A and B are shown apart, each in its own frame.
Chain A
Amino acid sequence: MKVKQSKLFSLIMYIIIFLLVLPLIIIIIWSVAKSWPWPSIFPNAIGLRGWKYFFKPTSKSIIILLHSVYLSMIVTIITLIITIPAAKALALYNFKGKKIVELLIIAPLIVSPVAVAMGIHLFFIKLGLSNTFIGVVLVHLVPCIPYSVKILKNVFEITGESMEMQSRVLGASKLQTFKHVTLPIISPGLVSAGSLVFTVSFSQYFLTFLIGGGRVVTFPMVMFPFVQSGDRMMASVYSIVFIFTTLACMYIMEKITKKYYKTEGYFYIN
């Protein structure tokens, strides 16, 4: 009876996984399909035009991809640096106006940043930040910070402050405590927050487009025209690269954290 149940369970699991992976399989096939008219199950003709174009130096795809990864990495690092103290304060301390600060931080999740992007744009023009790399990094922080604060706040609520107190009474300064105790303990949370922030930043299209003014070109910006114009082969190639870049970055981030802090990838709860 039990065996049957577990078989049923795994069958359901496989169906769910299949349904999730199906779109991915389709874009992989599309990326090499020269023509794939409706009712045929498999493409009529196969070609490598998409991949050839992607790797052709004149398309600059790889340079833009690397540049985009670089930008999102910087956004991720800055977001984490800003949100660690913010999340800690929100999780552990009481201060006046805490509720308002919390609401303001979550605001970009409620009101899309696109809605205020025009205002930001005008402001950035005055400051000379529009059409610049820094401007784009700054505007990416807006949608990224809420996610990071949310995740890290939960982490700090779980870990609390006691480990840091212990470290301090053992003779560690505030800085030493942060480096040797706080960071390792929250590192699994940092990986989760970092991965999410990276993905959010990496997939920004409109904000980059508006603030970057076409000068700062990111991967979604070269990808979008293909998706819009209906060139499915090209769009699929770019989508696959997009997905695997994000996955690779997450993987690397986790590996680096593990190497530094020897953590097992789970949260420490006392």
Chain B
Amino acid sequence: MSQIKLKNITKFFDSKRILDDINLEVKKGEMVSLLGPSGCGKTTTLKIIAGLLNPDNGDILFEGDSVLNIPVEKRGAVIVFQDYLLFPHLNTAENIEFGLKMAKIDKFKRRKRVKKMLQLVQLEGYENKYPRELSGGQKQRVALARALAIEPKVLLLDEPFSNLDSRLRENMRDFILQIQRELNITTILVTHDKEEALMTSDKIAIMLDGKIKQFGSPIELYKNPISSEVADFFGEKNYIKGCIKDEMFTSDIINVKTDFNKYLSVKAMINPEDIKVFELQSNTDITGIIKMKKYAGDRIYYTISVNGVELKCISEPNELFNIDDKVGVNINFNNLVFFPIDN
């Protein structure tokens, strides 16, 4: 049975549709990401799951039972907000203890639990520090410990890494992932960062304009996006217009055999990492001219013009070319995805 299920959730703010028929299923112990640009309704979805907002339509099930009539404080879904929101008048230990105190758990048990939580987030010795004395990463860990202290049914993380600098962000990401695996706690992560979503999640739901566009495993979403909208979330892609006839895709630059024949006029998506450039040889079939070059240390971004079509490519750092160089282009057709051309 799924731990959390959203059924046809719809939400309006002043007659503006924020969420449109959201369906989502999260299994116990799973880490699911809601990936989308800001303003797409991700945070609203979290607030609805936690009970801070009521949906205008639809149902929320926890372990098979509707929780619509269960107030926020009894629902057992804790949000860790983007800006941590530690209570400024309480020290670290009191912050972590907060939920337990509200639940009127006796002092001895509370102490024990707080100690365990401090151990878990590796903040022993910080019991008496106030939030203003903590660094960003430490605040984040306190917020996490405070949420986990009450043993929630589901942990909701709202852009948890966006306020941290990049090094710390990677550390915290691994750290939270490790804790999530260790406690096997059902987690929903809201993010606008594709790497964060790909690297941490069991499943990703792509959200756009209040709708879930696609829901699946990271590999599924990356390899088989259902639309170019979804594909664009995972970085810049190449699209080549062409048509399919007699199991052949024909375009200005490539002709490939394919068993995809749902549409006549299509665009083919090629990932930049599936295009390779190499030194021009006499027998190369596709040639291009380097138009742009961005050196990023461990990889190089090239823009190549092939028969007037610009292709983006990510290349190995040792394949150094200069702008206006003539190069051979090799395209891996195994990962081609076709989308119908919308008129």
- Chain A interface (Cβ < 8 Å from any Cβ of B): 162-163, 165-173, 176, 180-181, 184-185, 261-263, 268, 270
Among candidates A171, A176, A261, residue contacting B150 with C-beta atoms closer than 8 Å: A171
Kindly provide the distance from the CB of B330 to the nearest chain A CB, expressed in whole angstroms.
Answer: 52
- List the 8 closest A-B pairs by CB distance, nearest first: A170-B99, A172-B102, A268-B88, A166-B85, A184-B89, A168-B72, A171-B99, A171-B73
B83 touches A270 (CB 8 A): yes
Q: B103 — which chain A residues lie within 8 A by C-beta?
A: 171
Kindly provide the distance from the CB of B143 to the nearest chain A CB, expressed in whole angstroms.
Answer: 9
Q: A270 — which chain B residues lie within 8 A by C-beta?
A: 83, 85
Apart from A165-B79, A169-B72, A169-B78: 5 A-B pairs, beta carbons within 8 A: A165-B81, A170-B102, A181-B87, A184-B89, A270-B85
Question: Is B289's CB within 8 Å of the partner chain A?
Answer: no
| Max chain A Cβ within 10 angstroms of own Cβ: one of B74, B79, B85 | B85
Q: How far is the CA of A70 from the CA of B83 in the complex (A)?
A: 43
Question: Is B50's CB within 8 Å of the partner chain A?
Answer: yes
Kindly report which residue of chain B lies nearest to residue A166, judged by CB atoms. Answer: B85
Kindly report which residue of chain A lies nearest to residue B91, judged by CB atoms. Answer: A262
B150 touches A170 (CB 8 A): yes
Question: Is B147's CB within 8 Å of the partner chain A?
Answer: yes
Among candidates B74, B89, B150, residue contacting A263 with C-beta atoms closer than 8 Å: B89
Among candidates B85, B102, B146, residue contacting A163 with C-beta atoms closer than 8 Å: B85
Question: Is B98's CB within 8 Å of the partner chain A?
Answer: yes
Kindly provide the distance from the CB of A259 to the nearest chain B CB, expressed in whole angstroms.
Answer: 12
| Max chain A Cβ within 10 angstroms of own Cβ: one of B71, B98, B146, B147 | B98
Kindly report which residue of chain A lies nearest to residue B82, judged by CB atoms. Answer: A162
Q: A180 — which chain B residues lie within 8 A by C-beta?
A: 98, 101-102
B98 touches A172 (CB 8 A): yes
Kindly provide the distance from the CB of B230 to the nearest chain A CB, expressed in whole angstroms.
Answer: 30
B83 touches A173 (CB 8 A): no
Question: Is B77's CB within 8 Å of the partner chain A?
Answer: yes
A262 touches B89 (CB 8 A): yes
B114-127 CB mask vs A (1 if < 8 Å, else 0) is 00000000000000
Total number of A-B contacts with CB less than 8 angstroms? 67
Measured as residues with beta carbon below 8 angstroms from the partner, the interface class of chain B is: 20 to 34
Q: How far is the CA of A163 from the CA of B81 in the complex (A)?
A: 10
| Max chain B Cβ within 10 angstroms of own Cβ: one of A170, A171, A172 | A170
Q: How far is the CA of A169 from the CA of B46 in the complex (A)?
A: 11
Give chain B's interface secondary structure class.
mixed
Question: Is B309's CB within 8 Å of the partner chain A?
Answer: no
24 contacts between A and B (CB under 8 A): A162-B83, A163-B87, A165-B81, A166-B79, A166-B87, A169-B51, A169-B79, A170-B73, A170-B99, A170-B102, A170-B147, A170-B150, A171-B73, A171-B99, A172-B102, A173-B73, A173-B102, A181-B87, A185-B87, A185-B89, A261-B89, A262-B89, A263-B89, A268-B88
Q: How far is the CA of A261 from the CA of B146 in the complex (A)?
A: 20
Q: B98 — which chain A residues lie within 8 A by C-beta?
A: 167, 170, 172, 180
A166 touches B81 (CB 8 A): yes
Q: How far is the CA of A263 from the CA of B90 in the complex (A)?
A: 9
Question: Is B52's CB within 8 Å of the partner chain A?
Answer: yes
B77 touches A169 (CB 8 A): yes
Q: A268 — which chain B residues lie within 8 A by C-beta?
A: 88-89
Q: How far is the CA of A256 from the CA of B146 in the complex (A)?
A: 29
Q: A181 — which chain B residues lie within 8 A by C-beta?
A: 87
Q: How far is the CA of A172 from the CA of B71 in the complex (A)?
A: 10
Q: A167 — which chain B residues lie within 8 A by C-beta?
A: 87, 98, 102
Kindly report which residue of chain B lies nearest to residue A170, judged by CB atoms. Answer: B99
Among candidates B47, B52, B73, B147, residue contacting A172 with C-beta atoms closer than 8 Å: B73
| Max chain B Cβ within 10 angstroms of own Cβ: one of A168, A171, A262 | A171
A168 touches B52 (CB 8 A): yes
Kindly provide the distance from the CB of A247 to the nearest chain B CB, expressed in whole angstroms.
Answer: 26
Q: How far is the CA of A165 from the CA of B73 in the complex (A)?
A: 10
B102 touches A165 (CB 8 A): no
A169 touches B89 (CB 8 A): no
Q: B83 — which chain A residues lie within 8 A by C-beta?
A: 162, 270
Q: A173 — which chain B residues lie within 8 A by C-beta?
A: 71, 73, 102
A170 touches B146 (CB 8 A): yes
Beta-carbon contacts under 8 Å, B176-214 to A: none
| Max chain A Cβ within 10 angstroms of own Cβ: one of B72, B103, B146 | B72
Beta-carbon contacts under 8 Å, B49-73 to A: 50-52, 71-73
Q: A172 — which chain B residues lie within 8 A by C-beta?
A: 73, 98-99, 102
Kindly report which residue of chain A lies nearest to residue B83, judged by CB atoms. Answer: A270
Kindly provide the distance from the CB of B323 to the nearest chain A CB, expressed in whole angstroms.
Answer: 47
